[in-house]
Structure 1
Amino acid sequence: MRVYVPLFCLLFPFLVLAQQTPKDSITQLQEVILMEDAVPKKAVGITASTTIGPTTFERFNPTDFASAINQIPGVYMLSGALNTNRITIRGVGARTPFGTDKLRLYFNGIPVTNGTGFSTIEAYDFENLGSIEVIKGPKGSAYGANLGGAILLETKAPSAEETRLVNTFTIGSYNMLKDNLSFTHYDNKFRISLSYNHFETDGFRENNQFERDGILLNTTFQLAEKSSLSYVLNYIDYTAYIASSINQTDFEEDPTRAASNWLAAKGFEANNYVLTGLSHTYQFSDKLKNTTSIFYTYLDHYEPRPFNILDEFTNGFGFRSQFEGQWGTGTYVLGTELYKDEYHWGTFENLYAENNGNGSLKGNQLSRNTEFRRQFNLFGSLTYPLSTRFSAQFGLNLNKTHYQFNDRFNTGDANTSATRNFDAILLPNLGLRYTLTNGQLYANVSRGFSNPSLEESLTPEGIINPDIAQETGTNYELGGQFAWLNKKLTLDWTLYRMEINNLLVAQRVGEDQYIGKNAGETRHQGLELDVKYRTYLSKKLLITPYLGYTFSDHVFVDFVDGDNDYSGNPLTGVPRHRLTSGIDVQHSNGLQLNLTHQFVDKIPLTDATTIYSEAYHVFHLKLGYRAQIATDLSLGLYAGINNVFDTNYAQSVLINAVGFGGAQPRYFYPGNGRNYFAGIRLGYDF
């Protein structure tokens, strides 16, 4: 492992606290615990969404993105490795073999889901985020109408006029080292936030090393009283070695093992990712505002796999404009969003078996392809009060998707290009809200869709399959949000049911080849609960127990795959029960204790439900301390244990795995064993 010590760590011993502790420490406790509620939401009108922010993030290791997201009922992030993540919302996307699809991902209001619907959460540093907002299901018209919903990532923003330098330094098991150095300045005309982060670890498993560097720049200029201009740049450069999934024998006997073929090839992926965007906001009047953004994304990806070497790059371009205004006593949102990308990819022989044990070796080219993908969204919503307590929201989203595929390698073949123009699809939603003394009730009916990826829309011969259709579904939702005892006790609950037609199934026809087909209908229904209680045990001690529960009754209503009829079986890849719970304890002297627990029920791994993963419990513990050690200098210390009881569990699974050449199917991505971390924060206010 390369020894890495940033300049600021040499000047200032390691870490930072981004927030001073006022003399009134009891007030400080109240502010800390309420930071989550103070995070502004982006979901428009009465659209229900769930937001997590600083309070949740502070419970975990600053590298543990998955545990934070999994605090949200109905949302499940399966993390096979730092670079291998799949996020499902209410079971949507659970059958995707690799990666996250069927939802829209936004970063500071910019859509970053690619042209075929895949999102890469690992392109963003957890420590740079100020909030994560999740719209579950297709009810957020302004953020697409994808069946899974939308995830809105927002970076940290200065809360008051300040100039601050902050450094956070963390070390841990597996030779883990992470450093995040950030500078923020905010005055009435100009805001800037610049951060640099470095992260490296050898990983829990064989062939599991990871190294990443990143830069994030956010600026806002107040051009005039009614006009402002913002610019964002996010750059990530990482190399991640791939242990891949393992079979049940290896999982039970030694979960640190890598898949033998990936280990022999020393497989890895190297990524350079850039997002840059420019946004202009103009306040026409008190009743009308417009925000317009243009953006560009670039991804350069190189991945030696045992079966071949993938070399690809993607250029993405986009435009988004949104008007927000008042119409009488109601409010409306109108806007449009266009995303286009050009995807160039080729594969090469991997001659690792002939490389004397030195890993992957690039051989002859096997393929060369170009794809052009385009998605257009037109959206609008109107929220109108029908009485002092009762309001309604009607929204529409219009989507048009286009794919073009060109085979640049087999140029003599008649089928060297293919085009697929999906018909425009109109997706309405209706929401109702009734305000009560201690909370509110809401209901929603909405239509959603998911596109097949371009590869899923091709036949094995590489030509467009005209019979492949978009998934569509109708979502029904009833919920409530309540607060009692002067907001010390809060309860959020949701009941939902969604029926999805033209279920897209990725069928594996080779070690690195999947094709798609529409195989039937699924029904997603369930219950989500989120309960928190805040109370002072004394004037100096604040305690917050909390619980989140997800019940998922997801089944194949009609699913016939070849000669097999799986109708009535539970949906593959979804645990029936999930529970997150914990307790936060804060003392006025700056001490903070976080104990968190997650339970995941067994997961069906095959459509025939013949194999399940085992249910598991995982506990994490973190202890922190913060203090103002000088007028302008703040200190934070923290240490923790992940997986306190050293549970052997599958943090991610691969459904319907196939064993090639007589080998056992590889279903399991083991979670890390018991591991430790500690860090220090230093903050300086100029």
Structure 2
Amino acid sequence: MNKLTPPQFAAALLALLLPVTALAEDDAQQEPLVFEAPPLVITGSHYKANSFNLPFSVQRIEAEQATEAKPKVNISEALGSVPGLVVQNRNNYAQDLQISSRGFGARSAFGIRGIKLMADGIPLSNPDGQGQAATFDLDTLDHIEVLRGPFTNLYGSNSGGVIQLFSRDGAGAPSVSANTAMSAWDTQRYQAGAEGGNESGGFLLNQSQFSTDGYREHSNASIDKSFAKLTLTPDIDTRLALIYTRLNQDDTKDPQGLTWDEYEENQNAASPNAELYDTRKTVDNSSLSLNFEREFSAGTWQNTLYGGTRHVTQYLSIPKFVQSNPLSSGGVIDFDRNFQGASTRWIQPFGLFSGELTVTSGLEYDASSDDRQGYENFVGDMLGVKGALRRSEQDDVTSLSPFSQLVWEKDRLQLQGGLRYNHVEFQVDDKYITGSNGDDSGQVTYDGYTPNLGVSYLLTPQLSIYSSWSRGFETPTLNELFYSGPDGRFGFDLDAATSEQYEVGLKTRLGRNTNLQLALFQIDTQDELVVLASVGGRTSYQNATETERQGIELSLDSRLTDSLTSRFALTDMSAIYSQDFVSRGQTVKSGRHIPNIPQRSLFGELTWQPLNGFSTGLEALYRSNLYVEDSNTAKTAPSYALVNWQARAEQQVKQLTFNQVLRVDNLFDREYIGSIVVGDSNGRYYEPGPERAWYVGAGLEYRFE
């Protein structure tokens, strides 16, 4: 795909628009149609808005689509139908999912970075942009909103995409529920919950436990989640929500990546060093948050307050001889984190030029503080145990961001524009200074303004076109700074990446029951952060020169008959380095592909509900090959296609509701690489995906009357 200028983008959209306009006009000339109201979303505007009129790509996924007939373990189950989003389930619970949005976040060595994760308006990403999707609770889900494109910068630095989950409020007569499920590799999951509410408030409680031996050697995991939500509505203008969450992972094993030869010999294997050093991770994460919203005659006041703790102990496979270096920080990571934050915003509508202007202004503050230690992963000849202290420091990250967003609407026209100032500060207080291991204390600050502009226009009641633009920036995360300086020290000299985004698109209703969204996008980035080296569980980074990403996204949702529905998503994207740069003494030529970004992704789903209380369906996923390092010379992770099948039944007997689920993933038992470790210096890039696996579940709910 060749680079398009903004005028060429507009011409390409017009070429695609003409036939769609003709279809919409043909429908308009027939008998009047009754259309379902487009979904309301708040992501991208901070207040409830009709997604059809917004000048950016945003998808709303209802709980039914996200969770029914699915294990409810990972959000990868829920996001396949969102174009532009690549969700790779590593099936490695010590490292979490890999998620990228239009290429943002693709380089992450573990967890999720470059994408803003939120739940009920509370950030689940640290102020440096690093987050973990494992804290999401799908049992309590109401819906998910996924924002892509230029308006993601409304959420600050490190927001190349936004994934926001919303839990449901407890409502109706009190009820209790319990579910159990079993799957391959001795995988088990149990869930129990209670909820209820009235016009004055509600409650929602949930507890789940998941355990698995893993399909690969040395990959067993145990995850417990707790969730509690209390909502209060003392009057029609006031709403308050208090939410508590806890995630506990005890001794989760890490099988690590494989070389290509190791993968071909045994795709279920763990890396030799993973078993030698017993690589594993323990996480205990808890948070408490408060949402308060008050309607006034002049506007709406929204506030959030949150805080929590996170403890992590992780055993890496760094060899003993590597740790003999005085600058080594050992092979065991151990830290206690306190995090907190607050935000406030005022939403004010005005009448202006016979239209309506809505102004949203606010301030967001986020902070985290790590008491971090590093230890040797051996004692004498015993490996995989906590040994001598090699690191001790205090790491603080703070973010402070005022912003303002304006939306003006009149008849069929909507204009949006906004500006955010981002201030992110890193401070390191080194407490381990011995011999040649000097003082690594210091601080670095990143500041930047991120503007955005957008316009949308309704050509017909069933056809909207739009265009948007923004500038953004992406700071390194704390983990990316740790080993990226000279001699593996703290990388205070890493720059933030800056980007400019363009998007044009259309949203339309074809016939009575089909929704289509189409977007073309281009992203030009300077100082892109790329992997410099990845050895023994530690990854260092550097700034490349420039990159270009451009592509097309298409989503199509249709009700084919009263009992048959379909969903389809396509992403076709080119992501390349647009200038030469030097990495590990080798020149990476312009035109090389950015690792871990597939050129093409396809998703299709067909669901059949022949009668009330029973449904069955097929999911299909295709992903093109993945480059694994910057030079593009190593063996690529091959393209693959997977098919999954599921069936669900439900029966109601008075106040009891029963449900049963049967599911088979990877129906045709394909061998494939599910995810990669970008730039691994030992060539262990490849993380195999699981073979065919069955899943069966059953549950009940009792509602009091």
Q: Could you tell me the TM-score, scaled by structure 1's length?
A: 0.89
Aligned-residue identity in percent? 22
Matches within 5 A, 1:628-643: 628-630=652-654, 632-643=655-666
Q: How far 1:439 moved relative to its partner?
A: 2.6
**Whole-Å Cα distance in 2 between the matches of residues 105 and 135 of structure 1?**
11
Whole-angstrom distance in 1 between the partners of 2:38 and 2:192: 27
Matched, 1:339 2:366: yes
Return the match for 1:110 from 109, 114, 122: 122
Counterpart Cα distance in 2 of 1:675 and 1:510: 32
CA distance in 1, matches of 2:229, 2:121: 13
User: Which residue does 1:311 correspond to in 2?
Assistant: 334
Work out whether residues 342 and 372 of structure 1, in 8 Å CA contact, stay in contact via their aligned partners in 2.
yes
What is the aligned partner in structure 1 of residue 546 from structure 2? Answer: 521
Q: Which residue of 2 aligns with 1:608?
A: 631
Aligned to 2:556: 531
Aligned counterpart for 2:84 among listed residues 59, 63, 74:
74
- Partner secondary structure for residue 139 of structure 1: helix
1:272 match? 284
Structure 2 residue runs of 5 or longer lacking an equivalent are 1-34, 319-330
Q: Which residue of the partner structure matches residue 357 of structure 2?
A: 330
Following TM superposition, by how much is the alpha carbon of 1:397 offset from its aligned partner in structure 2, in angstroms? 1.2
Distance in 1 (alpha carbons) for counterparts of 2:374 and 2:82 = 39
Change beyond 3 A, Cα 1:89–1:59 = farther
Deviation at 1:98, TM superposition (A): 2.3
Whole-Å separation in 1 of the counterparts to 2:679 and 2:72: 33
Match of 2:455 among 413, 432, 435: 432
The offset of 1:678, in angstroms, is 0.7
* CA apart distance, 1:50: 1.2
The answer as to 2:61 corresponding to 1:55 is no
Q: Show the counterpart of 1:348.
A: 375
Correspondence list, 1:349-498, <5 A: 349-351=376-378, 354-355=381-382, 360-385=384-409, 387-410=410-433, 415-422=439-446, 424-435=447-458, 436-457=460-481, 459-461=485-487, 467-486=493-512, 488-498=513-523
CA contact (8 A) 1:622 1:638 kept: yes
- Shift of residue 149, structure 1, vs aligned partner: 2.2
Contact 2:149 2:503 in 1 (8 A): no
Q: Shift of the alpha carbon at 1:409?
A: 0.8
- Pick from 568, 571, 576 the counterpart of residue 547 of structure 1: 568
Query: 2:455, 2:507 → 1: CA distance?
Result: 14
- 1:590 matched to which residue of 2? 613
Q: Of the candidates 75, 83, 98, which is equivalent to residue 65 of structure 1?
A: 75
Partners of 1:577 and 1:373 lie apart in 2 by 36
Amino acid at match of 1:131: H
Asked if the contact 1:101/1:118 (under 8 Å) is kept, the reply is: yes
Provide the rounded CA distance (Å) in 2 between the counterparts of 1:36 and 1:604: 42
Match of 1:243 in 2: 255
Residue 701 of structure 2 is aligned to residue 652 of structure 1: no
Separation (CA, whole Å) in 2 of partners of 1:643 and 1:512? 29
Deviation (angstroms), 1:40: 4.4
Find the aligned partners of 2:549 and 2:189 in 1 and give their Cα distance.
39
- Alpha-carbon RMSD: 2.1
1:389-432: CA deviation from partner (whole Å, max 9, x where unpaired): 1110011111001111121111676634111122x311110010
| 1:281 paired to 2:302 | no
Does structure 2 conserve the Cα–Cα contact (< 8 Å) formed by 1:141 and 1:381? Answer: no
Task: Give the drift of 1:41.
Answer: 4.0
On the 8 A contact 1:448/1:474 being kept in 2, the answer is: yes
- Counterpart code for 2:121: G
- Provide the rounded CA distance (Å) in 2 between the counterparts of 1:432 and 1:262: 52
Query: Does residue 626 in structure 1 map to residue 650 in structure 2?
Result: yes
Greater shift, 435-444 or 450-459, is seen at: 450-459
**Shift in alpha-carbon separation, 1:68–1:593, aligned structure 2, 3 A:** same
Identify the residue that residue 30 of structure 2 maps to in structure 1.
none
Output the amino acid matched with 2:670: T
Q: Give the partner amino acid of 2:443.
A: T
Distance 1:411-1:466 versus aligned 2 partners, 3 A rule: same
Which of 163, 172, 175 is residue 174 of structure 2 equivalent to? 163
Deviation at 1:384, TM superposition (A): 0.3
Residue 318 of structure 1 aligns to a residue in which SS?
strand
Q: Name the SS of the counterpart of 1:624 in structure 2.
A: strand
- Shift in Å, 1:324: 1.6
Match of 1:8 in 2: none
Q: 1:352: how far off?
A: 7.3
Task: Identify the residue that residue 22 of structure 1 maps to in structure 2.
Answer: none
Q: Does 1:133 align with 2:156?
A: no
- Matched with 1:200 is 211
Matched, 1:557 2:582: no
TM-score with structure 2 setting the length: 0.86
CA distance in 2, matches of 1:563, 1:208: 35
What do residues 286-329 of structure 1 show as CA deviations (whole Å, max 9, x unaligned)?
x4111111110211001122221111111111011121221111
Q: Name the aligned partner's letter for residue 525 of structure 1.
A: Q
CA contact (8 A) 2:206 2:226 kept: yes
* Partner SS for 2:478: coil
Q: Distance in 2 between matches of 1:624 and 1:362?
A: 47
- Residues 384 and 393 in structure 1, CA contact (< 8 A), matched pair in contact too: yes
Instruction: State the partner residue of 1:295.
Output: 306
The aligned residue for residue 223 of structure 1 is: 234
Structure 2 counterpart SS, 1:482: strand
1:38-58 deviation digits (Å, cap 9, x = unpaired): 564433163431121223222
Q: CA deviation at 1:142?
A: 4.2
Distance 2:479 2:276 in 1: 28
Residue 138 (structure 1) shift: 4.0
State whether residues 639 and 677 of structure 1, in contact with CA within 8 Å, keep that contact through their aligned partners in structure 2: yes
1:235–1:64 CA distance, 2 compared to 1 (3 A): closer
How many corresponding residue pairs? Answer: 635
User: Quick check: 1:580–1:596 contact (8 Å CA) kept in 2?
Assistant: yes
- Report the secondary structure of 1:169's partner residue: strand
Residue type matched to 2:369 in 1? Answer: E
| 3-state SS of paired residue (2:580) | strand
- Cα deviation, residue 360, structure 1: 2.0
The residue type paired with residue 246 of structure 1 is: L
Indicate how the Cα distance of structure 1 residues 502 and 40 shifts in structure 2: closer, same or farther if over 3 A, else same: closer
Q: Taking structure 1 as reference, are residues 658 and 141 closer, same or farther at Cα in structure 2, changes over 3 Å only?
A: closer
SS in 2 for 1:230: strand
Q: Which residue of the partner structure matches residue 119 of structure 1?
A: 131
CA contact (8 A) 1:71 1:580 kept: yes
Q: Following the alignment from structure 1 to structure 2, what is the Cα–Cα distance between the partners of residues 259 and 317?
A: 37
Counterpart Cα distance in 1 of 2:530 and 2:74: 31
Residues 453 and 470 of structure 2 are in contact (CA less than 8 Å); yes or no, is this contact kept in structure 1?
Answer: yes
Q: How big is each residue's C-alpha offset from its partner over 1:406-463, in whole Å with a ceiling of 9 and x where there is no partner?
A: 21111676634111122x3111100101112213111100111100123544523576
The whole-number CA distance in structure 2 between the counterparts of 1:415 and 1:518 is 24
| Contact kept? 1:378, 1:398, Cα under 8 Å | yes
Q: Does structure 2 retain, via aligned residues, the 8 Å contact 1:36–1:53? A: no
What is the Cα deviation at residue 512 of structure 1?
A: 4.5
Q: CA deviation at 1:136?
A: 0.9
SS in 1 for 2:275: helix
Cα distance in 2 for residues equivalent to 1:89 and 1:465:
26
Pair 200,73 (structure 1): closer, same or farther in 2 beyond 3 Å: same
Q: Please say if residues 137 and 147 of structure 1, whose CA atoms lie closer than 8 Å, have aligned partners that are also in contact.
A: no
